[in-house]
Amino acid sequence: MALLGVNIDHVATVRQARRTDEPDPIWAAAEAELGGADGITFHLREDRRHIGDRDAEVLRRTVAVKLNMEMAAADEIVAIAARLKPDQCTLVPERREELTTEGGLDVVRHRARVAATVARLKNEGIVVSAFIEPVADQIEASAAVGFDAIELWTGAYAHARTPKQRAGAVEVLRAGIALGHQVGLEVHGGHGLTYRNIAPIAALPGFGEFNIGHSIVSRAIFVGMREAVREMKRLLDLYAPRP
Ligand code: PXP
């Protein structure tokens, strides 16, 4: 069964709506751990729109499970990651005007810059993952520049409108997983995964980790973070591929 990384950014989004001290994403991380999260994921954006430097520091000191930092390959953020040493850094594209991370990192286009960032982070002993679209040239380029893992963008699946589009997106992900493994990468998945759409994705063999944020934080409003995480873990277990 794939590991579950819980993205707590949107707890900080609610806090920042009032620029106050609650809800605290640090508490959310602790509650997520108590609900069975295998990892805590956060995105330190250049504009600090939700998670801030204090959050990143305190998460590093308090999270006992795998800590995954999503980040752009930007000098300031790379320097912070090198100092904090999260267990894993996931490189994502970042545009200030976007609502959330939209689509994957273009490793092919930004190859030299990405390769330098991967080398710097790996030199600090950090596992490095590329958030990319499930297309062959991006997967092959990710292996070539030295990533340990890829996180396949599941947005095309999540945004599909028809059963045919959805089934097609699942097959694209299946092929992406196979190619990722063939070129020696660990394969993760994330973006837009919810309690309602996770089943066919959880059933795909080969995903080692899912990073899920918005849906879990949304559910936590009604049932609490601990229970929201437990429910998602139950679904991952229920639909996990059986040998
Ligand atoms: N994985 C990555 C790399 C992301 O950037 C995000 C969004 O921050 C997620 C997973 C989580 O996506 P969602 O909030 O749609 O579950």
Domains and CATH numbers, the chain: 3-239 (3.20.20.70)
- Separation of alpha carbons 50 and 141, rounded Å: 31
Closest C-alpha residue for ligand 1 atom 1: 190
pTM: 0.97
- Tell me the sheet residues that pair with 67: 40
In the three-class reduction of DSSP (H, G, I as helix; E, B as strand; rest coil), residue 194 is classed as: coil
Cβ atoms of 170 and 157 within 8 Å: the answer is yes
- Separation of alpha carbons 50 and 43, rounded Å: 8
Task: Check if 7 has its Cβ closer than 6 Å to any atom of ligand 1.
Answer: yes
Q: What is the pLDDT along the chain (243 residues), one digit of tens a residue?
A: 999 999 999 999 999 999 999 999 999 999 999 999 999 999 999 999 999 999 999 999 999 999 999 999 999 999 999 999 999 999 999 775 566 666 899 999 999 999 999 999 999 999 999 999 999 999 999 999 999 999 999 999 999 999 999 999 999 999 999 999 999 999 999 999 999 999 999 999 999 999 999 999 999 999 999 999 999 999 999 999 987
Which of these is catalytic: 10, 33, 50, 70?
A: 70
Distance 70 CA to ligand 1 centre (A): 9
Cβ atoms of 212 and 193 within 8 Å: the answer is yes
Pair of tokens at residue 220: 């936590």
70 is catalytic: yes
How far, in Å, are 12, 82, 146, 196, 199 from residue 49 at the CA level?
9, 21, 30, 28, 31
Task: Check if 130 has its Cβ closer than 6 Å to any atom of ligand 1.
Answer: no
- Ligand 1 pocket test: pick from 99, 100, 129, 151 the residue with the most ligand atoms within 8 Å of its Cβ: 100
Task: Check if 151 has its Cβ closer than 6 Å to any atom of ligand 1.
Answer: yes
Task: Check if 213 has its Cβ closer than 6 Å to any atom of ligand 1.
Answer: yes
Cis amide linkage into residue 25, ω under 30° from 0: no
Task: Check if 214 has its Cβ closer than 6 Å to any atom of ligand 1.
Answer: yes
76 is catalytic: no
